[in-house]
Amino acid sequence: MLRRELAIVLGARVTWLVAAVAALLIGHSFVLAVDLFSAGARSVEAGGLMAREFDPLLGIVRPTLGGVYISVSLLFPLVAARALGIEKERRSLRVLLLHTAAPLRLLLNKYFAALVGGVLVLLSVLVSLFLWIGVGGHLALGETAVALLGHTLHLMLITAIACAAAAWTETVAQATAVTLVGVLGSWAIDAAEGFAALAWLGGVAEWSITAHLGSFERGVLSFGDAAWLLIASLGALSLAWSGLRFDWSIRRRLLTVSATLLVLFPLLRLAGQTAGARDFTERQRASFPSGVVSALRSLPQSVSLTVMLDRDDSRRRQLELDVLSRLRLARSDLRVRYPLDEGALSVAATRDDSYGRIEICAGSQCQQTYSINRKELVALLFESAHRQPPNFEQRNYPGHPLVVEGARRTVILWQSYLLVPLTLTVIGLWVTRRRIRK
């Protein structure tokens, strides 16, 4: 059965067309990332303190994965929905279900075959990353693998959503449209980030798919985010299985869907609140120094922060990336409140002297500051706990600046814009060629 499903996916020209277009998008993202990285690296060719700022994970890997994200979100549903939707268009699904008498096995084979089609998209980013190493660039294995893992989980989720949409619709076009509506709905939630006027969407931020990819792209394996993506995929597959049970009455199928959703939403909420993460970045640069981490974990009191900054303020974003992310790695029980997000009125009209204040507490003892400097905040935390602040010295990340120009840049251009997309196109034409029977 699996061989037949693979033939349906890989034997379709749309699969290879999507792979070729995705390769072009990924290649373009890679070229832009390399050019920007090189432009900045020229200023530190002779060495200097700025060299440590050249992080290949954020400068090369993450922008390249942006092309993967767009391709999987907007193009790949055409492939993933077709694996099951084409059976409905051909009126062959019921016959196939009767022949196999195993709806779950059929669904899993369809799902796996669609994932194989998604591997063609991921191959393009692997080619780009190996090309970066080939021209002399640096990549750390652990952090790069974590970033790729996150987008693999994203691919699995989009495929599961497309299968569920195909199981409940009648055509490939309808299934693709439903999948895209789900993706765009997630993007609408993302729009609330950074805009105080959309703070009312903050309560549903945990339902955004993109929000659960951020930690992976920073080289941090968040157990909660990984669990959320896996549970969401399993939930979508469960909905797809209910849609395939044509032998059930409509009432029974709807009751099954309702029961699935009643179980799925609490599980997703629980997964989103699951603490715990591991830093896989090179030299543990996403964490506090090891001495500070040990001291933070030894504090018997609970740790909490109250931040009086609204979503429009760039200091809040810097605080979350530079301080709170590190605190969460050291203290999984960290609690953070944003009182301004809970207000009903616009913050711009109600700011007072308390705006910008950060209250950091160890147990019931608290200290206040207007600074977002990580050293000062950690020092205040230990002061609240009546402890001596630990040594904050950490080995500096050396950075890996690289200027790619001349022949090496020409190779990147040819490979990204021509060789990889053209190779996928040629392979697709050869695999999907029509054999003339005499």
What is the arithmetic mean of pLDDT over 299-310? 89
Q: What distance lies between CA 233 and its chain's CA centroid? A: 14
- Taking only the tens place, the pLDDT of each residue in 57-90 is 999 999 999 999 999 999 999 999 998 888 888 8
> Hey, what amino acid is at 18?
V
Distance of alpha carbon 229 from alpha carbon 154, whole angstroms: 7
User: At how many degrees (to 10) do helices 2-10 and 77-89 cross?
Assistant: 120
Distance of alpha carbon 80 from alpha carbon 165, whole angstroms: 10
Q: Does domain 290-384 have CATH number 3.40.30?
A: yes
pLDDT exceeds cutoff 50 at 98: yes
Buried b (16+ CB within 10 A) or exposed e, 63-80: bbbbbbbebbbbbbbbbb
- Taking only the tens place, the pLDDT of each residue in 112-168 is 999 999 999 999 999 999 999 999 999 999 999 999 999 999 999 999 999 999 999
Model pTM?
0.90
Three-state SS at 337: strand
- Taking only the tens place, the pLDDT of each residue in 306-340 is 999 887 788 888 898 888 989 999 988 889 988 88
287 secondary structure, DSSP code: S
Cα angle 396-402-404, degrees, rounded to a multiple of 5: 170
pLDDT exceeds cutoff 50 at 4: yes
Buried b (16+ CB within 10 A) or exposed e, 179-190: bbebbeebeebb
Q: Where are the domains of the chain?
A: 2-278+408-431, 290-384
| Whether 355 contacts 308, CB under 8 Å | yes
Distance of alpha carbon 51 from alpha carbon 272, whole angstroms: 36
Q: Which residue has the higher pLDDT, 272 or 119?
A: 119
CA-based nearest residue to 298, from 228, 362, 217: 362
pLDDT at 117: 92
Arithmetic mean of pLDDT over the chain: 87
pLDDT tier at 346, thresholds 50, 70, 90: very low
Length of the chain: 438
- Taking only the tens place, the pLDDT of each residue in 204-245 is 677 888 889 989 999 999 999 999 999 999 999 999 999 888
